[in-house]
């Protein structure tokens, strides 16, 4: 695995030789999806995200990412933003991803 800034919570061997790997980021903070300011006021965790990974030998690998959530105290309503984009190179951080991230929906692929 070549994922930077990742810590593994646990590894579960599932059916059909599927390895389920539960991970979280070791980085702190993200940027508010509304105002773009750096925020680091922790606000629980977002919904778990399932990411497919390349097979390892005869095993299928599935990553489960538990994104940290952060709250912006500058914006009205104190919106929260999930920290998920650390898996993407900066070049992939385009408007489409930004929109998906802001909406907090959709399966995202590593």
Q: How far is the CB of 92 from Zn ion (least distance, A)?
A: 23
Indicate which single residue of 23, 51, 63, 72 sits in contact with Zn ion (rule: CB under 5 A). Answer: 72
Residue nearer to Zn ion on the CB measure, 23 or 72: 72
Exposed/middle/buried for 67, CB within 10 Å: 0-12, 13-18, 19+? buried
Q: How far is the CB of 80 from Zn ion (least distance, A)?
A: 10
Residue 81 within binding range of Zn ion, rule CB under 5 A: no
C-alpha 61/C-alpha 20 separation (Å) is 6
Task: Find the binding residues for Zn ion in span 32-71 (CB under 5 A).
Answer: 32, 34-35
CA distances to 56, 92, 99, 101, 103 from 52, rounded to whole Å, are: 12, 17, 21, 18, 21
Phi-psi region of 40 (alpha: psi -120 to 50; beta: other; left: phi over 0): alpha
Indicate which single residue of 6, 19, 42, 75 sits in contact with Zn ion (rule: CB under 5 A). Answer: 75
Residue nearer to Zn ion on the CB measure, 53 or 71: 71
Q: How far is the CB of 98 from Zn ion (least distance, A)?
A: 14
Tokens 């539960």, residue located: 22
Kindly list the residues in this chain that would bind Zn ion in the complex (CB under 5 A): 32, 34-35, 72, 74-75
């Amino acid at each position: 695995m070549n994922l930077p800034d990742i810590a593994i919570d646990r590894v579960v061997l599932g059916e059909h030789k599927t390895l389920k790997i539960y991970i979280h980021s070791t980085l702190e903070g993200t940027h508010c999806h509304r105002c773009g300011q750096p925020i680091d006021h922790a606000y629980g965790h977002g919904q778990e995200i399932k990411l497919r990974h390349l097979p390892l030998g005869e095993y299928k690998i599935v990553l489960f990412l538990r994104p940290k959530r952060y709250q912006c105290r500058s914006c009205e309503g104190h919106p929260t933003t999930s920290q998920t984009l650390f898996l993407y190179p900066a070049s992939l951080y385009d408007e489409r991803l930004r929109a998906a991230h802001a909406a907090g929906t959709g399966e995202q692929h590593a």
